[in-house]
């Protein structure tokens, strides 16, 4: 399929370049025919040497022809430098400033030089050197103004043209077989493929395909890849453009690009228009109170108009992707525009395994690699994260000089993706290292001794990332979508395990638990204000936050809608739950002090402890005292 862009008006850059080239040639021509400038003293020396052929005397200058001798050494140095470009010529024009010299005419007569006088007139030279280039530029400019007409002068340099990238069938290169882990979204978009392949199947019954399809999901879940797969399956052109590419500093450019994009689509039908990061263009209008005349809003209005006037039965499907659907203008989401929404969530454990197998096809895998286990160790990751983990595993194996990617390489890639890069070169004093060891040992023991928490797979005191001095990795047994009160209390205990272990062993706490305390406080606040998990305040919601549905941000709290007395009760309940959790953790660690010491000493020796060593320590040192069940702890709380 030929690129239709060849049928479009050519850019003004070529004509402007031609005009500049013409001016340059003219300037070079004048430079090549320029005269040699002589000092009057050099002129008198050359005149005495018989090298002046003829002279024309004006009011201000003396001009004429200079004969170049066979041996230029007799010429003055200043003249020889100027004559380098005319080394193959026999004569050259010269010019010098006329001075009050009464002997000039006598010298000219004695040298038998023909001389004459003339009035100075340089209008022809001025016309050719300055007016001619100006006329050329004016002609080019008015030519394009007349040719563009109503399209506007902005198109002269291409600012009003769409920047959409065109992918035809041979170079889309993506099929549904290249997309894994989002089977429901693939099935829903298959209807679009069938319409593009056989539109009569729908139009003969009077129906029509949805005009716009909005794909929403977290970053890295495969929104753009899925849209390309639709175009690849349907074998139609694919116009890809980002929402931010419509808006420029020039007023009206964005609207012009929208019109140009839909004009391209009309010529290419059937095809797919895909607008990535739609929220950059389609943000709700009038939010900040000063945006009624913004260039972005004019662009959005033009997009709304174009979508209203577009007939879906012409075979043009408009698709868009965003991870911020809550900030889009309602006019974009109404029926008749983006009237079908396809949500893509992060894949579950089976979807992650499929994605890992898809990306691992190009790798040489060792016999011990279990991609199902790798999928279990990566909860909450998106497709892009998993692709990065597979690539990091291959790079790690290459650095180690291995012939195949082993399971240990995948473990190293997961640790790097989750906790950050190892910093073995960071020097820690023995006291700090011991504090970190007991801190991580406290997290690990509480995670192992609570009934509903994810079990520990690895404990390390190797510094990673920017500020992490160690980490405890837990391996989920399954994906969870709901959490009960007792399970949240168990997670709260794990978060406080490191701080309580420091206090129990050293009699004081360090700053290393700041992130744990932040997460613990957020968890308890959600239990009190959003989940209704306290008997004192009852089943009520006291705080909501405005945040993106598909972004991991905390959002901004909205205006408080409860009394000061309720606020005091909320603070009291948060403090009570935290103190109760701290007491529970202190009792558990005190009852298992020998296991805590053993695990900390093992970390100080080896820096990293795997699950097998951890379970061995618990088996050898755990006392017979039973650990309270989740129901008992919930009743106490």
Residue ranges of the alpha helices (H) in 371-406?
371-376, 383-399
Cα–Cα dist 265/53, whole Å: 73
d(CA 38, CA 76): 10
CA distance 603 to 440: 9
Q: Position of tokens 């009464």?
A: 102
Residues 538, 535: Cα–Cα separation, whole Å: 5
- 156 closest CA partner among 85, 285, 253, 74: 253
Q: How many Cβ atoms are within 10 Å of 165's Cβ, its own excluded? A: 12
Residue 620 catalytic? no
Structure tokens at 348: 């579950």
Strand-pair partners of 97: 61
Answer positive or negative: Cα dihedral of 65, 70, 71, 72: positive
Q: Which two tokens stand for residue 33?
A: 């025919």
Tell me the three-class secondary structure of 270-339, residue by residue: CEEEEEECHHHCCECCCCCCCCCCCHHHHHHHHHHHHHHCCCHHHCEEEEEEECCHHHECHHHHCCCCEE
Q: Tell me how far apart the alpha carbons of residues 568 and 528 are, in angstroms, rounded to a whole number.
A: 12
Question: Do residues 436 and 469 touch, judged by C-beta distance below 8 A?
Answer: yes
Q: Which residues contact 613 (CB under 8 A, 6 or more apart)?
A: 602
- Residue 379 CA to residue 375 CA, distance in Å, equals 7
Instruction: Give 107: exposed, middle or buried? Use CB within 10 Å, 0-12, 13-18, 19+.
Output: middle
CB distance 15 to 138 below 8 Å? no
Q: Which of 180, 277, 392, 440 is catalytic?
A: 440
Q: What is the rounded distance in angstroms from the CA atom of residue 538 to the CA atom of residue 531? A: 10
The closest alpha carbon to 341, from 227, 185, 182, 546, belongs to 185
Place of tokens 């909860």: 379
Catalytic residues: 440
């Amino acid at each position: 399929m030929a690129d239709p862009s060849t049928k479009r008006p050519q850019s003004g850059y070529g004509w402007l370049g031609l005009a500049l080239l013409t001016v340059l040639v003219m300037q070079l021509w004048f430079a090549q025919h320029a005269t040699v400038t002589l000092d009057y003293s050099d002129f008198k020396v050359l005149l005495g040497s018989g090298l002046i052929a003829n002279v024309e005397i004006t009011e201000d200058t003396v001009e004429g022809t200079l004969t170049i001798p066979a041996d230029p050494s007799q010429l003055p140095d200043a003249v020889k430098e100027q004559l380098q470009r005319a080394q193959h010529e026999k004569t050259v024009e010269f010019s010098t400033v006329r001075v009050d010299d009464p002997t000039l005419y006598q010298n000219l007569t004695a040298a038998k030089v023909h001389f004459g006088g003339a009035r100075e007139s340089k209008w022809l030279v001025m016309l050719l050197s300055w007016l001619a280039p100006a006329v050329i530029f004016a002609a080019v400019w008015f030519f394009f103004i007349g040719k563009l007409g109503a399209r506007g002068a902005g198109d002269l340099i291409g600012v009003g043209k769409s920047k959409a990238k065109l992918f035809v069938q041979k170079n889309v290169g993506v099929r549904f077989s290249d997309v894994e882990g989002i089977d429901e979204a693939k099935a829903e978009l298959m209807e679009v493929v069938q319409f593009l392949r056989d539109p009569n199947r729908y139009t003969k019954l009077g129906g029509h395909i949805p005009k716009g399809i909005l794909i929403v999901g977290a970053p890295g879940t495969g929104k753009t890849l899925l849209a390309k797969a639709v175009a690849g399956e349907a074998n139609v052109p694919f116009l890809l453009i980002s929402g931010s590419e419509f808006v420029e500093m020039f007023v009206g450019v964005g609207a012009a690009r929208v019109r140009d994009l839909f004009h391209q689509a009309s010529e290419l039908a059937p095809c797919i228009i895909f607008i990535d990061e739609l929220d950059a263009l389609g943000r709700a209008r009038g939010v900040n109170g000063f945006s009624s005349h913004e260039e972005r809003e004019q662009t959005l209005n033009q997009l709304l108009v174009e979508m209203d006037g577009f007939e879906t039965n012409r075979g043009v499907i408009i698709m868009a992707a965003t991870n911020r659907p809550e900030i889009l203008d309602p006019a974009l989401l109404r029926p008749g525009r983006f009237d079908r929404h396809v949500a893509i969530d992060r894949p579950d454990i089976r979807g992650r395994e499929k994605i890992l197998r898809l990306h691992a096809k190009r790798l040489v895998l060792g016999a011990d690699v279990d991609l199902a286990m790798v999928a279990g160790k990566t909860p909450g990751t998106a497709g892009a994260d998993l692709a990065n983990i597979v690539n990091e595993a291959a790079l790690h194996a290459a650095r180690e000089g291995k012939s195949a990617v082993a399971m240990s390489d995948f473990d190293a890639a997961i640790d790097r993706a989750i906790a950050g890069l190892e910093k073995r070169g960071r020097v820690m004093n023995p006291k700090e290292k011991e504090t970190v060891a007991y801190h991580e040992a406290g997290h690990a023991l509480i995670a192992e001794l609570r009934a509903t928490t994810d079990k520990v797979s690895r404990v390390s005191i190797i510094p990673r990332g920017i500020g992490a001095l160690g980490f405890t990795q837990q391996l989920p047994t399954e994906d969870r979508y709901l959490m009960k009160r007792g399970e949240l209390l168990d997670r709260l205990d794990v978060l406080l395990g490191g701080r309580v272990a420091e206090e129990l062993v050293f009699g004081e706490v360090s700053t290393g638990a700041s992130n744990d305390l932040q997460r613990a406080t957020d968890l308890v606040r959600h239990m009190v204000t959003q989940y209704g998990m306290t008997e004192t305040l009852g089943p009520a919601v006291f705080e909501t936050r405005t945040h993106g549905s598909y972004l991991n941000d905390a959002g901004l709290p909205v205006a408080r809608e409860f009394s000061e007395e309720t606020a005091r009760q909320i603070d009291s309940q948060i403090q009570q739950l935290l103190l109760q959790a701290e007491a529970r953790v202190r009792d558990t660690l005190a009852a298992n002090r020998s296991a805590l010491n053993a695990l900390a000493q093992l970390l100080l020796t080896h820096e990293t402890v795997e699950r097998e060593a951890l379970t061995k320590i618990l088996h050898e040192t755990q006392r017979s005292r039973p650990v309270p069940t989740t129901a008992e702890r919930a009743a106490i709380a």
